[in-house]
Amino acid sequence: MTRLMRPLDGILAVLREARTIAMVCHVNPDGDTIGGALALRLGLIKMDKQVSLFCQDKIPDNLCFLPGAEEFRMPEASGQHYDLLLCLDVSDEKRMGRCSALRAQADVFAQVDHHGTNTRYGMVNCVDGTAPANCLIIYELLQRLGCEITTDVALCLAVGLSTDTGNLTYKSTTPEAYRVMGDLLETGAPIGEAYRRIYRERPPRQVALLARALESLTFHDEGRITSIRLSSQDFEACGALPEDANIIVNYGLDVLGVCMSVFGREQADGTVKLSLRSIDPYQVSGVAQHFGGGGHAQAAGASVQLPLDEAVRQAVECMKKELEKTE
């Protein structure tokens, strides 16, 4: 089995010692945070640990087929005390959302993450900013814990690894990622069927939302930057859910000649979520940090208290400055 050694001793120690564990996924959860949490939970249960899963937002419909997805709860549903509170794929405390309240209910606060902008906010921090997906770190943790990589575990890890690497196509994808995916396929997990459900199946409301998003696509800086925006009225008109926008983020970057893109969408709390993407060698992590967010060099984001059009305008201006730095 493939294993790339990382400095995991601290997180392994607290996982082995804890009996009751609360695991937290980030707001607006994606395949990497959900898949990693579900895989680690399956392994820890076999070690006779009591594991509870929390996320402030609902699990996207296209991930609900993953084994154990029904176990997720809202943070308000917990009145229990835990030996360990573990954040997975959560780059900073703000990304915990309402789950941050669980800190007062745990003895140890730790995290496992792969974002280069991670703030090292835990008592125990396992952060590898070079890992293209958090599920790669979870895979090694499970190996080091002596947990069997069952078909259910492999399915969860494969979904997380695929969704955070653009199905192994992003520049951040490493040889390790391909080797681990091979290991996961060898378990016999139905990974091909999972990919069909995630990448090919689209509810009508999502297709309608995509159509509206593409109508808003605008070119800036002589075609090197694109912007896409969706208002709350767009979501309402399509009967769409917040998760339905997750497929849209890369469309602006896929246009020939584009170096950077921003996708702005209004959220239920009145903020605007900015999703930022770029092609190598251009980086958007600095743009995200300008707005108080974070992420990876070519994939980052932030939430801002601005009107939608103004938020997108400011993001585009920051992107122009980033392009000038690289030239």
Pairing of strands 294-295, 299-304: antiparallel
Write down the pLDDT at residue 171. 84
pLDDT on residue 36: 98
Q: What is the pLDDT of residue 3?
A: 42
Q: Total domain count for the chain?
A: 2
Q: What is the CATH number of the domain that holds 183?
A: 3.90.1640.10
pLDDT at 296 (0 to 100): 87
Pair (21, 53) in one structural domain: yes
Q: What is the pLDDT of residues 169-208, one digit of tens each?
A: 888 899 999 999 999 999 999 999 999 999 888 999 999 9
All residues at 6 or more sequence positions from 306 whose CB lies less than 8 Å from its CB, including other chains: 272, 314
Task: Specify whether 152 is located in the same domain as 188.
Answer: yes
Among 199, 225, 245, residue at a domain's last position:
199
Same domain, 194 and 217: no
pLDDT band (50, 70, 90) for residue 6: confident
Lowest-confidence region among 73-82, 272-281, 283-292? 73-82
CA–CA separation, 291 and 308 (whole Å):
14
* Contact by Cβ (8 Å): 111, 125: yes
pLDDT of 221 above 80: yes
- Answer whether residue 317 is part of any domain: yes
Higher pLDDT, 116 or 220: 220
pLDDT at 4 over 80: no
Determine the residue type at 286: G
Query: Whole-angstrom Cα distance, residue 244 to residue 251?
Result: 14
> For 34-50, how does the pLDDT look when each residue is reduced to its tens digit (9 = 90+)?
999 999 999 999 999 99
Residues of the chain above pLDDT 70, percent? 98
Residues 18 and 139 in one domain: yes
Mean pLDDT throughout 300-304? 94
Q: Are residues 300 and 231 in the same domain?
A: yes
3 located within any domain: no
In whole angstroms, what is the distance from residue 213 CA to residue 234 CA?
A: 9
Residues 292 and 151 in one domain: no
CA 79 to chain centre: 27
Same domain, 181 and 51: yes
Q: Which domain holds residue 288?
A: 204-326
Instruction: Name the CA dihedral angle for 221, 266, 164, 322, rounded to a multiple of 10 degrees.
Output: 30
* Within-domain flag for 34: yes
The predicted pLDDT at position 278 comes to 95
Sheet containing strand 225-230, strands side by side: 218-220, 225-230, 260-266, 272-278, 299-304, 294-295
Task: Evaluate the CA torsion angle 34, 36, 39, 43 in order and state its sign.
Answer: negative
Q: pLDDT digits over 119-159, tens only?
A: 999 999 999 999 999 999 999 999 999 999 999 999 999 99
Task: Let me know whether 32 and 70 are in one domain.
Answer: yes
Give the domain-ending residue among 150, 180, 199.
199
249 and 310 in a single domain? The answer is yes
pLDDT-above-90 percentage for the chain: 87
pLDDT at 170: 85
Query: pTM here?
Result: 0.83
Return mean pLDDT, the chain: 94
Query: Do 41 and 132 fall into the same domain?
Result: yes
Sheet with 72-73, side-by-side order of all strands:
72-73, 50-54, 20-25, 82-88, 106-113, 124-127
Are 271 and 301 in contact by the 8 Å Cβ rule? The answer is: no
Same structural domain for residues 122 and 188?
yes
Task: Evaluate if residue 1 carries a pLDDT over 80.
Answer: no
In a shared domain, residues 110 and 211: no
Average pLDDT over residues 236-243: 94
Whether 4 is in a domain gets the answer no
